[in-house]
Amino acid sequence: MPPLRRKASLPEASPRSIEALALPTAELIDTIIQGLKKEGGFTLPSFGTFTVKKTKARKAAHPRTGEPVKVKAGRVIQFRASPNLQNAVIASDDRMAQHGRPADHPPPPVTPANTESPGVPPSAFTPGPRARALLNGVKIAEQDLRSAGGAYDLAQVQLLMHGISRQRIEQLVRDKALLAVPGPSNRRRYPAFQFNPDGTIIDGLQKLQETLNFSSPWSLLNFLVNPDDHLSHERPIDVLRRGDISLVLESARRIGIQGA
């Protein structure tokens, strides 16, 4: 987790009290799959949006014989690149073209002698734009978590909230009153910025989550910890802490409105 920085899914941003949370590729893929299953969509800010679309039953031609066949109704996964991703690729193509290199052919990597894989050209190992953008999404998530002041594990939240039960914490997450993100071993972590010094949760977080209705907690984290032009370049989390909930909700409503 951006026009998509503030739309739905991962994740620019600073854990002070714990180590930086790096989301392994396997966990990231699992998070995307769960988002598609539960919400029908998943957004990686600055990368793009995956959506599940229903397809109608139809007639088609067999790819080998050409004979007509019936195709059952089903579902397919579609991907739409974010403006940031598109601009990054186009800008990269423009720079390569200016230096006399074809825009659709990335420069071959420098490979030490006698280390090439037999039969596989070195250029095949160069990460493409999507792969680089995916890695960038993970870095953004790390930065956002650092900017949030790190995150607590379940036991730390129970201690902070004066012995609250695990079931009650899970209920708060389901009610969108508490923000949780996937952590190591896919165990939840709770960004520290959402707690007051007395262990209570900052006012307005539940209404904000209901207003944004993001399918990914990383998107909400990204929205909260990054400066917002509609809030005089202040971070939404800082405005919430000040008690100006209505200003943050108004900024959230602008997301997705053309020209807002």
167-176 confidence digits (pLDDT tens): 999 999 999 9
Q: Are 236 and 251 in contact (CB under 8 A)?
A: yes
Kind and range of the H or E run holding 170: helix 166-174
DSSP secondary structure letter of residue 109: P
Q: Does 60 map to a domain?
A: no
Number of domains the chain contains: 1
Per-residue confidence (pLDDT) for residue 205, from 0 to 100: 93
Identify the domain containing residue 187 by its residue range.
Answer: 25-55+75-107+129-254
Q: What is the mean pLDDT of residues 248-254?
A: 91
Q: Does 248 map to a domain?
A: yes
E strand segments, 95-195? 151-152, 181-182, 188-191
Q: Does 4 map to a domain?
A: no
Per-residue confidence (pLDDT) for residue 14, from 0 to 100: 33
Q: Does 47 map to a domain?
A: yes
Q: Does 122 map to a domain?
A: no
On average, the pLDDT of the chain sits at 77
Q: Does 208 map to a domain?
A: yes
Query: Which range (20-34, 53-67, 110-124) has the least confidence?
Result: 110-124
Q: Does 3 map to a domain?
A: no
Q: What is the mean pLDDT of residues 98-116?
A: 55
Joined tokens for residue 151: 């995150």
Q: What is the pTM of this model?
A: 0.48
CA distances from 235 to 63, 75, 248 (A): 54, 39, 9
When pLDDT is cut at 50, 70 and 90, the band that residue 216 belongs to is confident
Rounded Cα distance, 44 and 49, in Å: 6
Total residue length of the chain = 260
Q: Does 42 map to a domain?
A: yes
CA 91 to chain centre: 22
Per-residue confidence (pLDDT) for residue 112, from 0 to 100: 53
